[in-house]
Structure 1
Amino acid sequence: MAARLGIIAALGVMLLVAACAPRQQQPVPQAPPLPHGGALMIWPNRDPIQSACLNDLQATGAQFELIAQAEAGKNGCTLQNGVKLIRSSLNLNRPVELTCPMALRLVQFEQEVLLPEAQKTFGQPLAQLNHAGGFTCKTMTGNGKRISEHGHGRAIDIWGFTLDDGGRISVADHFRSRGREGTYLREMNRAACRYFSVVLGPNADSAHAKHFHWDIGQWKRCGA
């Protein structure tokens, strides 16, 4: 009887020790970090789809400011989910107003095509993208009734680039040249057709003899 009581007491002590021992916690799954260590933001007056674009743009390292939503005016121009792009992957000759999706597409094209190809072609990086404007309320060239994609912030006009050593590459001066500058410009405008809906340049028409037009509108045309 005494032996039995001793066994029961020992079992009670073992159970008590087990109950007091710290429990080993299971690892908690962690969400993958955002690119560049960014944090998800709550963007005022933006729906989830618009906010997702703004977070993606922020993750690229681009610098931008929000623009108030512009309702359609009497001329039909609008700017929805607009940003003032201060710096893309490159310095800009001046800030440009675009929709977030257009700004994001531009930055992706820079990072995936423009920058690596410049390094390969010139042995140095691009330092600046030179543009002639983004959001501008105007009609399409050759069609005075239809609003241009510029009138919705979905287009940008590029007239050239500046290299890290200060050398300039311009569509007006170099597109037809046989040197590296001309080759680079022609290849980049052709490559833009994979990223943008409409791509125009000197090979498209005389209205684009001195600049490239890139947009993400509903129409498709590779006029490179």
Structure 2
Amino acid sequence: MAARLGIVAALGLVLLAAACAPRQQQPVPQAPPPAHGGALMMWPNRDAIQSACLNDLQATGAQFELIAQAEPGKDGCTLQNGVKLLRSNLNLNRPVELTCPMALRLVQFEREVLLPEAQKLFGQSLAQLNHAGGFTCKAMTGNGSRISEHGHGRAIDIWGFTLGDGGRISVAEQFRARGREGQYLREMNRAACRYFSVVLGPNSDAAHGKHFHWDIGQWKRCGA
């Protein structure tokens, strides 16, 4: 009888110890990384090709926000796989809306050409890219029957740059000037022809006398 009571008592102690033991914590699902940082991911409402571009853009360190997929507007303008670029390799004078491929091409051009050439010529880096807009619904210059690449977010207009010391480089004021600023502007617009489909500027026509137009549309023209 005493042995049976001992077994019951031992079993009770085992059950009590199990009840008091700490429970193993279940893993907590992690939220996806933000659009401008974190691990590679599939992006909401984007297919594999679009997601690949967004991951490549994210890997450059650019800061951006997703733009909802847009249906064609009444004039045929639309923005597919769009981003609002908040910062590229440089500060921007204001955010700009572009397709992801156009934003990625711009960031690559900055990293591979604009920044190193500024450092070489001026002995300092660029601090800011100054633009006049990306996505906007309008007709092509010189051909009102076609939608501009701006109407699909595949183009950007650049009116100048700001150096690290605050010095400004203006297409309107310095493109034809002697000195480093004019040299830089002319060389950079020529170099843009290797990265963009259409490159326009003061050497192209009067409509582009004060800014550069760079796009990745289907047409090819180097008007630098």
Residue identity opposite 1:150 in structure 2: H
Q: What is aligned with 2:55?
A: 55
| Aligned-partner Cα distance in 1 for 2:126–2:118 | 6
Q: What is aligned with 2:204?
A: 204
| Aligned-partner Cα distance in 1 for 2:129–2:51 | 26
3-state secondary structure, aligned to 1:114: helix
| Aligned-partner Cα distance in 2 for 1:130–1:104 | 17
| 1:74 Cα deviation from its structure 2 partner | 1.3
Q: What is aligned with 1:89?
A: 89
The 8 Å contact of residues 136 and 150 in structure 2, kept in 1 or not, is answered as yes
After TM superposition, the structure 1 = structure 2 runs for residues 22-171 of structure 1, keeping only pairs within 5 Å, are 38-171=38-171
Residue identity opposite 2:146 in structure 1: R
After TM superposition, the structure 1 = structure 2 runs for residues 16-27 of structure 1, keeping only pairs within 5 Å, are none
Residue identity opposite 1:108 in structure 2: Q
**Tell me, which stretches of 5 or more residues in structure 2 are unaligned?**
1-36
| 1:143 Cα deviation from its structure 2 partner | 1.0
Residue identity opposite 1:44 in structure 2: P
| 1:153 Cα deviation from its structure 2 partner | 0.0
| 1:38 Cα deviation from its structure 2 partner | 5.0
| Aligned-partner Cα distance in 1 for 2:99–2:192 | 18
| 1:42 Cα deviation from its structure 2 partner | 2.0
Kindly report structure 1 stretches of 4+ aligned residues shifted beyond 4 Å. none
| Aligned-partner Cα distance in 2 for 1:221–1:151 | 18
Aligned residue pairs, count:
188
Identity %: 90
TM-score scaled by length of structure 2: 0.83
TM-score scaled by length of structure 1: 0.83
Q: What's the C-alpha RMSD, in Å, of the aligned pairs?
A: 0.8
| Aligned-partner Cα distance in 1 for 2:164–2:128 | 8
| 1:187 Cα deviation from its structure 2 partner | 0.2
Q: What is aligned with 1:177?
A: 177
| 1:82 Cα deviation from its structure 2 partner | 0.1
| 1:183 Cα deviation from its structure 2 partner | 0.3
Residue identity opposite 1:133 in structure 2: G
* Between 91-100 and 39-48, the greater mean CA deviation after superposition: 39-48
**Tell me, which stretches of 5 or more residues in structure 1 are unaligned?**
1-36
Residue identity opposite 1:79 in structure 2: L
3-state secondary structure, aligned to 2:105: helix
3-state secondary structure, aligned to 2:74: coil
